[in-house]
Structure 1
Amino acid sequence: MAQSGIAAAAAAEIPEGGRHDLRHDLSPDAPEIENYSEGEGAFGYAHSYETGSRLDGPGIRVTLFLSGCPLRCQYCHNPDTWRLKDGMRIPLERVVTRLGHFAPALRSMQGGLTLSGGEPLVQPAFSRRIFAAAKSFGLHTALDTSGYLGDRATDEYLKSVDLVLLDIKSWDPDTYRRVTRQDVAPTLRFAERLAAMNKPVWVRYVLVPGLTDDPANVEGVAKFVAPMKNVEWVEVLPFHQLGAFKWKELGLDYPLVDTPPAPPELLARVHGQFRAAGCNVR
């Protein structure tokens, strides 16, 4: 019985489920992200992992959602990934072992591993070592990031990343700050750096009626991205309310509670703006 209990605890070290599951206070003693020092990345904090994803890069993928994020996006559907203490503290060895079990199937389905969050670059040593392990298994790798902490992704780090899913949340600095409480400049610098090194990128733009839908704002992102030959796709993601229950359960004031989904005509207009600028959009 004792052995079974140990095995169950070990299995729980990587929370299986997905991006829409609520997780909180799994590691109450974890520090705030501003005070976090991860050392060599032998341990890290994770929200959950999801198998069979078709949303986070090419092929069929495993997506691991890491905890910790410096942004406070108004439309965030994973506010339970903002703090390290809401995730589970897990050893790198456990992550690599589990990934190794999935690797043969992922290779056969032309898929791979995506690290999302939260923001994986809150834990650069931990995430770098996971990516390196994934490459050793022959897997495609993708980093889902806001780019705000892009300076933490060294050139050596990016050698183990095949694709960057870059969330450019706004072009207008005031809108970006209203959306995220942070500055847009670090994200744009990271985008330019990725372009200079010809690192494949899919740009993601969340379309929120009344917040990110201003034509001039969309035009700014489109004209910035269009000349970048490394940007393979712009993905326009219509706002949804799937994470609203998390804000309520966590006692957070949800500012978009009355915001409707983006209507088809708005989505078509924004697609048209990106397409007219010369972007591949979907």
Structure 2
Amino acid sequence: MIRVHSYESLGTYDGPGIRLVVFLQGCNFRCLYCANPDTIDAKGESKETSPEEILKMAVSQKPFFGKKGGITFSGGEPTFQARELIPLFRSLKEAGIHICVDTNGSIWNEDVKTLLTLADLVLLDVKEFNNDRHRKLTARSNEQTLKTAAWLEENQKPFWLRYVLVQGYSYFREDIEAMGEHFKNYQMIERVEILPYHTLGVHKYEAMNLEYQLKDVKCNTPEQLEEAKALFDKYFKTVYVN
């Protein structure tokens, strides 16, 4: 059984085309800006769902996907439930449905390797390139995330780089340039997405009686987003502000 937090039909932000987005329960990161704090706990208020139920939902929505769309697994952290997802991924492939995995890339074992092999596209969230700042932002190291990126490149698995722009936490010119230098020769990076920082999940913290620690951080101005895009454009061909 798979622990599902929620679904989004006709999603357009998590991968190419129109997608069914499945938000899974459980995450090993503790991102200060997490928009889905209710998905962090391994159990939470999720519903145990059979792979068949998710497959049926995806197949029923397939006419809306068009040529580019499909299903995206987000969260939480999908690889948290890699073993349970493998049979579902195999069934989705048999049904001809495009599979995306949105991951922080920090969990690594044979099940995760199999899962990413079965996926058509990986959305790799690099929270920060500087490891000390990464730890401050997520309470975890970025070492495995970078190793996962290298594995995707070596195994010719297409992926998108995603980067949330948070003033004072991940918006440092030197870190973006260092990341650009690190990834500039990767052939499997199809797209880089700059995700503007937002506070849309703050009400969830209030509902859960948790303190939102970035309440003094301001959202990005259009000028900041333009400046960040110009930095990324120096290293990558296809950069978008999502």
Shared fold (TM-score greater than 0.5)? yes
Deviation digits for residues 11-45 of structure 1 (CA, Å, limit 9, x no counterpart): xxxxxxxxxxxxxxxxxxxxxxxxxxxxxxxx011
Deviation at 1:110, TM superposition (A): 3.0
Q: State the 4+ residue runs in structure 1 displaced beyond 3 angstroms.
A: 150-156
Offset of residue 206 of structure 1: 0.1
- For the residue of structure 2 that corresponds to 1:164, the secondary structure is strand
Q: Partners of 2:173 and 2:64 in 1: how far apart?
A: 43
Q: Which amino acid aligns with 2:214?
A: L
Structure 2 distance, partners of 1:127, 1:205, is 25
1:88 aligns with 2:50: no
Alpha-carbon distance in structure 1 between the residues aligned to 2:140 and 2:18 = 33
2:77 pairs, out of 119, 123, 132, with 119
Query: What amino acid is aligned across from residue 275 of structure 1 in structure 2?
Result: D
> C-alpha root-mean-square deviation of aligned residues, in Å?
1.4
Q: Tell me by how many angstroms 1:53 deviates.
A: 0.7
Aligned pairs (5 A) from 1:240-259 = 240-259=198-217
1:167 counterpart residue number: 125
1:269 pairs with one of 219, 223, 227: 227
The Cα shift of 1:278 comes to 3.5
Please name the residue that 1:68 is paired with.
Answer: 26
TM-score (norm 2): 0.94
Query: Normalising by the residue count of structure 1, what TM-score does the alignment of the two structures yield?
Result: 0.81
Code of the aligned partner of 2:63 = P
> Structure 2 CA distance, aligned partners of 1:196 and 1:153?
18
The DSSP-based 3-state class of the residue aligned with 1:89 is strand
Q: 1:147 aligns with which of 102, 105, 112?
A: 105
For 2:23 and 2:53, how far apart are their aligned partners in 1?
15
Does residue 195 (structure 1) correspond to residue 153 (structure 2)? The answer is yes
Structure 2 residue aligned with 1:225, among 183, 193, 204?
183
1:101 aligns with 2:46: no
The alignment-based identity, stated in percent, is: 35
Q: Aligned partners of 1:156 and 1:46: how far apart in 2? A: 20
Number of aligned residue pairs: give it.
239
- Aligned match of 1:137 in 95, 117, 139? 95
Unpaired stretches in structure 1, ≥5 consecutive residues: 1-42
Q: In the alignment, does 2:193 pair up with 1:235?
A: yes
Deviates more, 1:232-241 or 1:86-95: 86-95
Larger-gyration structure (1/2): 1
1:225 and 1:279 in contact (8 A); partners too:
no
Which has the larger displacement, 207-216 or 87-96? 87-96
**Quick one: structure 1 residues 109 and 195, their matched pair in 2 at CA, closer, same or farther if it must change by over 3 Å?**
closer
Contact persistence 1:44–1:126 (CA under 8 A): yes
Matches of 1:274 and 1:125, distance apart in 2:
35
1:210 Cα deviation after fit: 1.3
